[in-house]
Structure 1
Amino acid sequence: MKTKYFDLIDQTYDFPQEEFQLKDNNLEFHGIDLKGLIAEYGAPLKFTYLPKISDNIQRAQKWFAKSIKKHGYKGKYHYCYCTKSSHFQHVLNEALKNNIHIETSSAFDIDIVNHLKSKGKISKDTFVLCNGFKRDKYINNIADLINNGHENCIPIIDNYEELNLLQSNINGTFNVGIRIASEEEPKFEFYTSRLGIGYKNIVPFYNQSIKENEQVNLKMLHFFINTGIRDTAYYWNELLKCLKVYINLKRVCPTLDSLNIGGGFPIKNSLAFEYDYAYMIDEIINQINQACQEAKVDVPHIFTEFGSFTVGESGGAIYEVLYQKQQNDREKWNMINSSFITTLPDSWAINKRFILLAINRWNEEYERVLLGGLTCDSDDYYNSEQHMNAIYLPKYKKDKPLYIGFFNTGAYQESIGGYGGLQHCLIPAPKHILIDRDENGELTTKVFAEQQTSAKFMDILGYTK
């Protein structure tokens, strides 16, 4: 009878997988000895495996290059990283090794851009696409960047007023894009995105405010789907509507030469995850190519904005199961030594799924459990609503420590959780480790941030002032 945790995983999923291997009944992630990492740094623990960032960027670039060649596509492809997914310097430094560009969301993003320029990480040839609802500070920072010679900074117009604000602050001519206010999926509580300008209003807006405006060149149409790039009737329908707008706009706007298909790729959230990235890219290129050929207009250069896809699969969180509480005849609560609200806010805020696996004791019997965090908040838990299946882990034994890992947590969790700031119930943010490989391919680790201390909380709260 197969009753071991390994048997459960093996018969439920295709295992081992590219990033997950088993060695001496302990889990490895991209060749990282997780049990050894715990022995050296303790738990709870967060880590970032930097090489995965470059790996995903290069995969996407190769897929697009292959499809562009296959279809004889005349435009170029540009990979942009959405800084809002993770603003950390180590993330940007790794991503920028791969000839990419940047998408920003707020005023302080431009400070990061200026820092990267001063360090030689980006140049004036790097595209900086400025999204988001723009007010004084953001407008001023964008204007300063353009006035200082960064012509490849393209503010994406989100509302009618922004164009006048930009013109008032920018010296000379500059380029802009327009964001389409796409229609949301039927399950959403609203019909149209609050971001951008409606499909029917874009060409009239161009004719009225940009066509005869000698200071402004329209270069880009920005198309964003909130649910991401997925093989659904909804996505393909919205893409076709976008292409109709591009074609109509291109016919009256000769400077328009780029299409930004934002929205992003999904990332792996289960061992059963399946997504044909190459097919989706190939079909997108094919659809754009066909639509433009039929309309007899030049195809656009393609920009993508990949945030979660860039950084999400580089992150992980490790916890120890401290104790098990039997609350009734069938619910067992494994209590972790941290808080989901603190460290994985998306798991409780939007029921986001992450890959969850035991790190050790794979050769022992398993049981069905619920996972609870340390806070006194009833929402501090992770169960089958967030997970793809019911949660099974090796049986709790007081004298045999059990460690669990959540994987592909690298996007948004730190910024949403308020990295380095106050945490719910003052549960400290765990130690954060950066993992890289040297020129010989050997793993290297270093501490990026120690676990928060009570002294830091007291200072933030004003008790030491």
Structure 2
Amino acid sequence: MNTRYIDLIEQTFEFPQQEFYLQNGTLNFHNIDLIKVIEEHGTPLKITYLPKISENILQAKKWFNDAIKKHNYKGKYFYSYCTKSSHFKHVLNEALKNDIHIETSSAFDINIVEKLKEEGKISDKTYVVCNGFKRDEYIKNIARLINNGHKNCIPVIDNYEELSLLQQETKKKLKLGIRIASEEEPKFEFYTSRLGIGYKNILNFYRKEIKSNKKAEVKMLHFFINTGIKDNAYYWNELNKCLKVYIDLKRICPSLDTLNIGGGFPIKTSLGFSYDYQYMIDEIINQIQLACEEAEVATPNIFTEFGSYTVGESGANIYKVLYQKKQNDRESWNMIDSSFITTLPDSWAINRRFIMLPINRWNDNYERVLLGGLTCDSDDYYNSEQHINAIYLPKYKEGVPLYIGFFNTGAYQDSIGGYGGLQHCLIPQPKHILINKDAEGNIKTSVYKEKQTHNDFLKILGYE
């Protein structure tokens, strides 16, 4: 009978995989020997593997360009990074190596854009697509960017008042986008997204407010699906409704030349993950082209805004199992040396799944466990509701270290968890390291931020 952890994985999944394999009985992630990293930096530990960001961007651009060539599509493709997924400078620096554009969500995003311009990381030709509900500071920051000569800043109108607010602050002609308020999936508690303007209202808004307006022109129609780009009836139905709006608007708005298909690609959340990216891109290009050809309107340029897809698979969190608590005959709790609430907030807030694997002891027998964090909150756990299946790990042995990793955690967790700030139950943020490659392909590791100390918390709380 096969009772080792390695046997469990090999009989359940295809293993090894491109980013995961064993070396000397321990796990490697993107050719990084994780046990060596643990020996040098300890746990808990947060890892950002920067080359994965460029790898995903280049792959998506290839998929789109291949589809455009296959279908003889006349429009161009523009890859835009959704900064809300991770605002860190090291993330933007890596992403911007690949001739991409930026999508913003709020006022301070514009300050980041201006800083990147100062450093020569982006230019006036870089598209800055400004999404989100806009008031006061966000409006003024967008206007400052435009007034200072940024040619390709496109504020996306989210509500009727934003146009007049922007025009009050800007001196130059506005290039605008309009966001469609898509209908949500049936499982939502509401029918229509709170963001954007309803399908039926966009044409009237254009006719009344923009068509005769010499200080503004519409360049982009923005279409966003909260659940992301999925091969299901809901997505294709919403895309077709969006294309109908695009066609109707294009007929009365010659300046419209771009369709922004916001809503991201999924990322790998299990060793059994399967998603045909090329098929989805081919079909999106095909659907847009067929609709436009039938209506006899020009096919649009296409923007995407990939956040999680860009940065998610670059991240990993590593913990040590400190102790096992047996609470009854059936439940064994492996307690980690950190907190899920503070370091992986999506895991408990929205039951987000991550790939979870042990780092060492793959040749040991396994057992079913629950994982618990250090806070006193009953929600600080990770179990089969978040994981794709029940959680199995090498059997706990007192005095024999067991390390576990959560992978593809690079998007949203830091901003949602309040990186560097006050944490629940004062459980400190872990040490954060950046891993890159030099020109010869050798792995380089640097410490981005040390683990939080009691002094960090005392200062925030006003004790120092």
Give the alignment's TM-score, normalised by structure 1: 1.00
Residue type at the aligned position of 2:395 = K
Matched ranges for 1:1-20 at <5 A: 1-20=1-20
| 1:426 and 2:423 matched | no
Counterpart of 2:355 in structure 1 is 355
Residue by residue, what CA displacement relative to the aligned partner does 1:5-36 show, whole Å, maximum 9, x if unpaired?
Answer: 00000000000000001011100001000000
Q: SS at the partner of 2:333?
A: strand
In 2, are the aligned partners of 1:221 and 1:259 still within 8 Å (CA)?
Answer: yes
Counterparts of 1:432 and 1:252, CA distance in 2: 52
Counterparts of 2:400 and 2:416, CA distance in 1: 34
Counterpart of 2:446 in structure 1 is 446
Counterparts of 2:64 and 2:278, CA distance in 1: 8
Counterpart of 2:314 in structure 1 is 314
Q: In the TM superposition, what is the alpha-carbon distance from 1:257 to its structure 2 partner?
A: 0.3
Counterparts of 1:164 and 1:373, CA distance in 2: 49
Residue type at the aligned position of 2:171 = N
Structure 1 residue runs of 5 or longer lacking an equivalent are none
Counterparts of 2:411 and 2:141, CA distance in 1: 25
Structure 1 vs Structure 2: percent identity of aligned residues?
74
Counterparts of 1:65 and 1:83, CA distance in 2: 23
Residue by residue, what CA displacement relative to the aligned partner does 1:211-231 show, whole Å, maximum 9, x if unpaired?
Answer: 000000100000000000000
In 2, are the aligned partners of 1:364 and 1:395 still within 8 Å (CA)?
Answer: yes
Residue by residue, what CA displacement relative to the aligned partner does 1:326-373 show, whole Å, maximum 9, x if unpaired?
Answer: 000010000000000010000000000000000000000000000000
Matched ranges for 1:218-233 at <5 A: 218-233=218-233
| 1:394 and 2:394 matched | yes
Residue by residue, what CA displacement relative to the aligned partner does 1:280-328 show, whole Å, maximum 9, x if unpaired?
Answer: 0000000000000000000000000000000000000000000000000
In 1, are the aligned partners of 2:102 and 2:126 still within 8 Å (CA)?
Answer: yes
In 1, are the aligned partners of 2:367 and 2:394 still within 8 Å (CA)?
Answer: yes
Q: SS at the partner of 2:400?
A: coil
Matched ranges for 1:201-212 at <5 A: 201-212=201-212
Residue type at the aligned position of 1:305 = E
Counterpart of 1:138 in structure 2 is 138
Counterpart of 2:410 in structure 1 is 410
In 1, are the aligned partners of 2:82 and 2:305 still within 8 Å (CA)?
Answer: yes
Residue type at the aligned position of 1:339 = S
| 1:76 and 2:76 matched | yes
Residue type at the aligned position of 2:405 = G
Residue type at the aligned position of 2:255 = T
Q: SS at the partner of 1:192?
A: coil
Counterpart of 1:255 in structure 2 is 255
Residue type at the aligned position of 1:55 = E
Counterpart of 1:97 in structure 2 is 97
Structure 2 residue runs of 5 or longer lacking an equivalent are none
In 1, are the aligned partners of 2:146 and 2:172 still within 8 Å (CA)?
Answer: no
Counterparts of 1:174 and 1:139, CA distance in 2: 13
In 2, are the aligned partners of 1:342 and 1:417 still within 8 Å (CA)?
Answer: yes
Q: SS at the partner of 1:160?
A: coil
Counterparts of 2:426 and 2:310, CA distance in 1: 31
Q: Which stretches of structure 1, 4 residues or longer, exceed 4 Å deviation after superposition?
A: none
Counterpart of 2:340 in structure 1 is 340
Counterpart of 2:364 in structure 1 is 364
Counterpart of 1:238 in structure 2 is 238
Q: In the TM superposition, what is the alpha-carbon distance from 1:151 to its structure 2 partner?
A: 1.6
Counterpart of 1:119 in structure 2 is 119
Counterparts of 1:381 and 1:143, CA distance in 2: 45
Q: In the TM superposition, what is the alpha-carbon distance from 1:131 to its structure 2 partner?
A: 0.2
Counterparts of 1:172 and 1:419, CA distance in 2: 38
Residue by residue, what CA displacement relative to the aligned partner does 1:50-79 show, whole Å, maximum 9, x if unpaired?
Answer: 000000000000000000001010000000
Counterparts of 2:206 and 2:379, CA distance in 1: 48
| 1:324 and 2:324 matched | yes
Q: SS at the partner of 2:393?
A: strand
Residue type at the aligned position of 1:175 = K
Counterparts of 1:113 and 1:98, CA distance in 2: 16
Aligned-residue Cα RMSD (Å) equals 0.3
Residue by residue, what CA displacement relative to the aligned partner does 1:373-413 show, whole Å, maximum 9, x if unpaired?
Answer: 00100000000000000000000001110000000000000
Residue type at the aligned position of 2:380 = D
Counterparts of 1:173 and 1:267, CA distance in 2: 39
Counterparts of 2:375 and 2:247, CA distance in 1: 54
Q: In the TM superposition, what is the alpha-carbon distance from 1:172 to its structure 2 partner?
A: 2.4
Counterpart of 1:22 in structure 2 is 22
Matched ranges for 1:181-196 at <5 A: 181-196=181-196
Counterparts of 1:152 and 1:290, CA distance in 2: 29
Counterparts of 1:127 and 1:355, CA distance in 2: 34
Counterparts of 2:414 and 2:463, CA distance in 1: 25
In 2, are the aligned partners of 1:316 and 1:409 still within 8 Å (CA)?
Answer: yes
Counterparts of 1:57 and 1:324, CA distance in 2: 41
Task: Tell me how many residue pairs correspond in the alignment.
Answer: 464
In 2, are the aligned partners of 1:151 and 1:174 still within 8 Å (CA)?
Answer: no
In 2, are the aligned partners of 1:346 and 1:352 still within 8 Å (CA)?
Answer: yes
| 1:381 and 2:385 matched | no
In 2, are the aligned partners of 1:344 and 1:417 still within 8 Å (CA)?
Answer: yes
Residue type at the aligned position of 2:113 = V
Give the alignment's TM-score, normalised by structure 2: 1.00
Counterparts of 2:183 and 2:338, CA distance in 1: 39
Q: SS at the partner of 2:459?
A: helix
Q: SS at the partner of 1:362?
A: coil
Counterparts of 1:36 and 1:6, CA distance in 2: 20
Counterparts of 1:127 and 1:219, CA distance in 2: 12
Counterpart of 2:32 in structure 1 is 32
